Structure 1
Amino acid sequence: MFTVYGMRSSGNCYKLQCLLDMLGKPYRWVDVDSAHGETRTPEFLALNPNGKVPLLVLDDGRRLSESNAILCYLAEDTPYLPADPWKRAITLQWMFFEQYTHEPAVAVARFIRLWLPEGHARHAEMPQLLDKGGKALDVMEDALAREAFFSGGAFGVADIALFAYTHCAPDGGFDLSRWPRIVAWLERVRAQPGFRPMHT
């Protein structure tokens, strides 16, 4: 059985819950409140010196961090990760896009609005984050005119990675009605066998 250290309201942690539920794999979830310093304790840093969740621990003690790396590990030899080299590369392209273009704007805007008090200096970042996040969502909207999913044309780990923070983008101030193809794609993801919503 896998052990997952994570914060349930984190999109990066939700990715693992989503895939494991779809795979029907048993796992043990250990709540770690990263928003209140629980990833910086000596005990957690001994598990992951980078001090972040999610963290996957195998029965033999091996540990893997970084949400999209964990998704690829869990999805190996399943329909959620294409075996075809080109389709796999497209899947990875979208997963890198999620971490380097989408998440730094969409997820950070959500963090500021949900976890930082009004008047906090970081609220000044919101206009720029909304602009950058909107452009990332524009890229997704355009791609969805040609493909139904982001994982080489079929549903897979890239869709899980992008769904994690896109479905809760309104928390960060994004009005998803601007992107009707994304709204329809979100419903296609929710219709996948084994899908369960984020635990909050």
Structure 2
Amino acid sequence: MTVHGFSSSGNCHKVRLLLEQLGRDYRWIEVDSSKGETRTTGFLAKNPNGRVPVIELDDGRILAESNAILCWLAEGTPYLPGDAWQRAQALAWMFFEQYSHEPYIAVARFIRGWTPPDSPRRAAELPRCLERGHAALAVMERHLAGHAWFTGHDYGVADIALFAYTGVASEGGFDLGGYPAIRDWLAQVRATPGFVAMPAPEAGVAARFARID
């Protein structure tokens, strides 16, 4: 299996984390979307949507969209519930992650790390991203006040999906100090067998994260 991904992307790290925890063999090809590498003719032939991650099997089959990849990889494993109701609950949280969480927490991180300090996006988009991102974190906090995981009774794909960008939310300007249940859950995810952290971004990006807006 070949994974085309950008190591600093939470959506790509989801796939890497599950593959590592499953003990699967794979080859990683770095595709830096911040430098336009997902817009080349060769990459667009694999995913016309021009986004990573993409997995490519030896028989030529290709699958895009991080949460679809998670579900396919986890099929038949403890990471995806066998019970239909629990599976639907996990999928509901994965849809939440893509529609109510990632568009704000991940985008805030992108604006702060990958756009110039004087970028118009900082004034135009960042305040709304912070507001809506905190709204998503509040939903997660309420759930975690009464549940250990998002996938059901055990850790699995929905936790991986939500962990990816929540784990680096501070890089988007989110203070998790007011979310004790989320902080405990993050610690639990990091303690799961086979866990791997997201690689640090390149030095210039890391330096921008370190600055206070």
TM-score when normalising by structure 2: 0.92
Number of aligned residues: 199
Distance 1:153 1:121 in 2: 44
Inter-partner Cα distance in structure 2 for 1:50 and 1:122: 23
**Distance in 2 of aligned mates of 1:111 and 1:165:** 11
Amino acid corresponding to residue 149 of structure 1 in structure 2: W
Shift of 1:118: 0.9
Computed over aligned residues only, the root mean square deviation of the Cα atoms, in angstroms, reads: 0.6
* Corresponding residue number in structure 1 for 2:64: 65
Distance in 2 (alpha carbons) for counterparts of 1:179 and 1:142: 9
CA displacement at 1:3 relative to structure 2? 0.4
**Whole-angstrom distance in 2 between the partners of 1:29 and 1:178:** 36
Residue 13 (structure 2) pairs with residue 14 (structure 1): yes
User: Residue deviations 1:122-158, cap 9 Å, x none?
Assistant: 0011111111000000000000011100001310000
| 2:210 equivalent in structure 1 | none
- Which consecutive segments of 4 or more residues in structure 1 shift more than 3 A? none
Q: What is the alpha-carbon distance in structure 2 between the residues aligned to residue 153 and residue 114 of structure 1?
A: 35
Name structure 2 gaps, 5 residues minimum.
201-213
What corresponds to 1:111 in structure 2?
A: 110
Secondary structure of 1:160's counterpart equals: helix
Q: Residue 31 in 1 paired to residue 30 in 2? A: yes
Find out whether 1:48 has 2:47 as its counterpart: yes
How many Å apart are 1:47 and its aligned residue?
A: 1.1
Equivalence for 2:188: 188
- CA separation in 2, counterparts of 1:50 and 1:107? 18
One-letter code of the match for 2:39?
Answer: R
Which AA in structure 2 matches 1:95?
Answer: M
Question: 1:47 is aligned with what amino acid?
Answer: K
TM-score norm. by structure 1 comes to: 0.98
1:48-77 residue CA offsets vs partner (Å, 9 max, x unmatched): 111110000111110000000000000000
In 1, Cα distance between equivalents of 2:175 and 2:145: 19
Find the residue that maps to 1:43 and give its secondary structure: helix
Equivalences for residues 107-186 of structure 1 within 5 A = 107-124=106-123, 125-186=125-186
Residue by residue over 1:69-125, the C-alpha shift from the partner in whole angstroms, topping out at 9 and shown as x without a partner, is 000000000000001000000000000000000000000000000000111110011
In the TM superposition, what is the alpha-carbon distance from 1:23 to its structure 2 partner? 0.2
* Percentage identity across paired residues of the two chains: 61
What SS is found at the alignment partner of 2:3? strand
What is the CA distance between 1:188 and its match in structure 2?
0.3
SS of aligned partner of 1:45: helix
Q: Does 1:199 align with 2:199?
A: yes
**Structure 1 residue ranges without an equivalent (≥5):** none
Which residue type is aligned with residue 43 of structure 2? Answer: F
TM-superposition CA deviations, 1:146-188 (whole Å, max 9, x none) = 1100001310000000000000000000001110100000000
SS in 2 for 1:197: coil
